[in-house]
Amino acid sequence: MMESYRAHAEAALKAYSAGEGLAPILAESMRYGLLDGGKRIRPCLLLCTAEMLGADPETTLPFACALEMIHCYSLIHDDLPAMDNDDSRRGKPSTHKQFGEANGILAGDGLLTAAALLLSKQPGHDAAKTAILSAALDMVSGQSYDLNASDRSEAFLRELHRQKTGALFRAATEAAANLADRNDLMPAFAALGETIGMLFQITDDLLDAERDRAEDKLTFVTFYGEDGARAFAAEAERSALATLADFDGAAADELRQLIRALTCRTE
Amino acid sequence: MMESYRAHAEAALKAYSAGEGLAPILAESMRYGLLDGGKRIRPCLLLCTAEMLGADPETTLPFACALEMIHCYSLIHDDLPAMDNDDSRRGKPSTHKQFGEANGILAGDGLLTAAALLLSKQPGHDAAKTAILSAALDMVSGQSYDLNASDRSEAFLRELHRQKTGALFRAATEAAANLADRNDLMPAFAALGETIGMLFQITDDLLDAERDRAEDKLTFVTFYGEDGARAFAAEAERSALATLADFDGAAADELRQLIRALTCRTE
């Protein structure tokens, strides 16, 4: 079933990135950075949560795609020489390696703009749009904290990851509640998304540590140690599953499975 | 009166860029690239057109500011070393010179996101939001055409500038028509904005030529010669004023004055 969400998101992303009327290299570089290879966790989380809460899948798909476009633009800009300077991404050259640095910058700008434009074209659900764009701004702030990090406190580590990684996960579940016309659940589901985002980040840090890629970065593993980080992940999993305790049905089961899979993911 | 639009836009931009909850360097670099020094032509054009058509100024101000935030993000990214590599802007170091390249990229990302977020928070007027964000995407496409220019035809020159410069001017007047609940005027006012944008671009090219800054770039002056470019500007001015022939009142007079000032501007 998660595979079905992923396939839906993938097909819709393809359709939304036709790039009609755009300069050919811009359209091609945007598609290059967006399509093929992503796990699509954020749009799947949005689609699954929205279905669990009874939203219409036709309505939710563009919101899920906008969220993924924002995630992908951030990866393109993160990989730039002035940022993390990564030459490859998802098993292929990163966008700026493939198209040059200037086109990489524009591809990211284009995807972020296309995401906002896609949202603006959806009728209603202003709170879902604001949740997603507000998270997108928090994400930039998280990257800024990461880039200019001088503080190595626990509070700083938590705030950095709450903004850098947690924000888009929060947006997925918070927007889902609005899309299902369950605004009463938005605060609880915003918190659920942040918790899932933290879970994702901790397992990311654990995988990096296994591969000796953490260096001297401030991560959950370098701060709390591997055992400490695992305990945090277990607590995040427990807390996320507790929020879902009262929900039944296939989508709720799928969401629980997604959360458990994030806890013990190996890639 | 144009000075009053400018002052209103400036004050609102200041208020919208407080950057609450954002990483301090991100907030500071966004404000640096946004505030002090801009002529604010695009938001003034939006505010003036909207007032002429009877829109509520309270409603229009956030849209005008979002448009200017998009313009300023594009200047920050344009100035980056991989793009135009400009060390100064508006009489001070460009944003990446002041804060470093990575922070410059993030400042631009932040301003574009903040613009989309500001739009998402405004009730209704979806067509104005879409007009602005659609223009923002065209603008990126125009930059891509400029960057990867291989074609030196008249059609290419027109399309490049229609997207790169014309799009945000088009958005200003097109959004203004929607904000005044005059959707019937949106096509005519979209065309008006594009014409004003072309007028702006031609006088820009003429000023660059006077300062010997055009080099071998494809501009209206290098393509048509100075006299040819001036004839185009005069025709654009005539066409824009003709669209406004049936409008009366102080705002209409102000708009005509703005168009005439663009034709003979010296900075």
| Closest residue to A133, CB basis, from B74, B116, B144 | B116
pLDDT attached to residue B222: 86
Which residues of chain A are within 8 Å of residue B25 when distances are taken between CB atoms? 144, 148
The rounded distance, in Å, linking the Cα atoms of A218 and A206 is: 12
In the block, residue with structure tokens 């959004």: B175
pLDDT attached to residue B123: 95
The rounded distance, in Å, linking the Cα atoms of B74 and B135 is: 12
Please judge whether B109 and A106 are an interchain contact, meaning their C-beta atoms are less than 8 angstroms apart: no
What band does B1 get if pLDDT is binned at 50, 70 and 90?
low
What band does B92 get if pLDDT is binned at 50, 70 and 90?
very high
pLDDT for A111 beyond 90? yes
pLDDT attached to residue A215: 63
Of residues A25 and A3, the one with the higher pLDDT is A25
For the ranges A14-18, A80-84, B92-96, B148-152, which has the lowest average pLDDT?
A: B148-152
Which residues of chain B are within 8 Å of residue A82 when distances are taken between CB atoms? 100-102, 104-105
- The verdict on domain A2-263 having CATH code 1.10.600.10 is yes
Which residues of chain B are within 8 Å of residue A102 when distances are taken between CB atoms? 80, 82-83, 147
Question: Residues B204-223: pLDDT tens digits?
Answer: 999 988 887 656 778 889 88
The ipTM estimated for the assembled molecules is 0.96
- Per the DSSP assignment, residues forming a β-bridge with A92 are A89
The rounded distance, in Å, linking the Cα atoms of B134 and B149 is: 22
What are the contacts of A144-148 at 24+ separation with CB within 8 A? A144/B22, A144/B23, A144/B25, A144/B26, A144/B103, A144/B106, A144/B110, A145/B23, A147/A83, A147/B102, A147/B103, A147/B106, A148/B23, A148/B25, A148/B103
Question: Residues A64-108: pLDDT tens digits?
Answer: 999 999 999 999 999 999 999 999 998 999 999 999 999 999 999
Question: Residues A161-204: pLDDT tens digits?
Answer: 999 999 999 999 999 999 999 999 999 999 999 999 999 999 99
**What is the residue type of B219?**
T
pLDDT attached to residue B213: 66
Distances (CA, A) of B10 to A2, A187, A195, B173: 48, 34, 39, 19
- DSSP annotation of A165: I
CB neighbours of A241 closer than 8 A, spacing ≥ 6?
A256, A259
What is chain B's mean pLDDT, rounded? 94
Taking the alpha carbons at both ends of chain B, their separation in whole angstroms is 20
Please judge whether B80 and A26 are an interchain contact, meaning their C-beta atoms are less than 8 angstroms apart: no
pLDDT for B12 beyond 90? yes
Which residues of chain B are within 8 Å of residue A83 when distances are taken between CB atoms? 102, 105
Distances (CA, A) of B114 to A138, A199, B6, B20, B132: 10, 27, 20, 12, 13
Question: Residues B154-185: pLDDT tens digits?
Answer: 888 888 899 999 999 999 999 999 999 999 99
The rounded distance, in Å, linking the Cα atoms of B258 and B265 is: 10
The rounded distance, in Å, linking the Cα atoms of A29 and B62 is: 32
Taking the alpha carbons at both ends of chain A, their separation in whole angstroms is 20
| Closest residue to A144, CB basis, from B23, B108, B142 | B23
CA B24 from chain center: how many Å? 27
Question: Residues A192-222: pLDDT tens digits?
Answer: 999 999 999 999 999 988 887 656 778 889 8
- CA geometry: angle A95, A136, B129, nearest 5 deg: 100
pTM: 0.96
In the block, residue with structure tokens 């906008």: A66
Enumerate residues 51 to 80 of chain A having a beta carbon within 8 A of any beta carbon in chain B. 73-74, 77, 80
Question: Residues B104-133: pLDDT tens digits?
Answer: 999 999 999 999 999 999 999 999 999 999
- Whose CA is closest to A218, among A167, A137, A161, A265? A161
pLDDT attached to residue A169: 98
If one counts every other C-beta atom within 10 angstroms of the C-beta of residue A251, the result is 19
Domain boundaries, chain B: 2-263
3-state secondary structure of B165: helix
Question: Residues A37-64: pLDDT tens digits?
Answer: 789 999 999 999 999 999 999 999 999 9
**What is the residue type of B173?**
T
pLDDT attached to residue B212: 72
Question: Residues B232-260: pLDDT tens digits?
Answer: 999 999 999 999 999 999 999 999 999 99
The rounded distance, in Å, linking the Cα atoms of A117 and A110 is: 10
The first and second tokens of residue A231, run together, are 């305990």
The first and second tokens of residue A69, run together, are 């476009």
The first and second tokens of residue A50, run together, are 């929205």
Find the closest chain B residue to A134 by CA distance.
B117
A142 touches chain B (CB under 8 A): yes
The rounded distance, in Å, linking the Cα atoms of B83 and B151 is: 19
The rounded distance, in Å, linking the Cα atoms of A22 and A18 is: 9
A155 touches chain B (CB under 8 A): no
The rounded distance, in Å, linking the Cα atoms of B133 and B37 is: 24
% of chain B with per-residue pLDDT over 70: 98
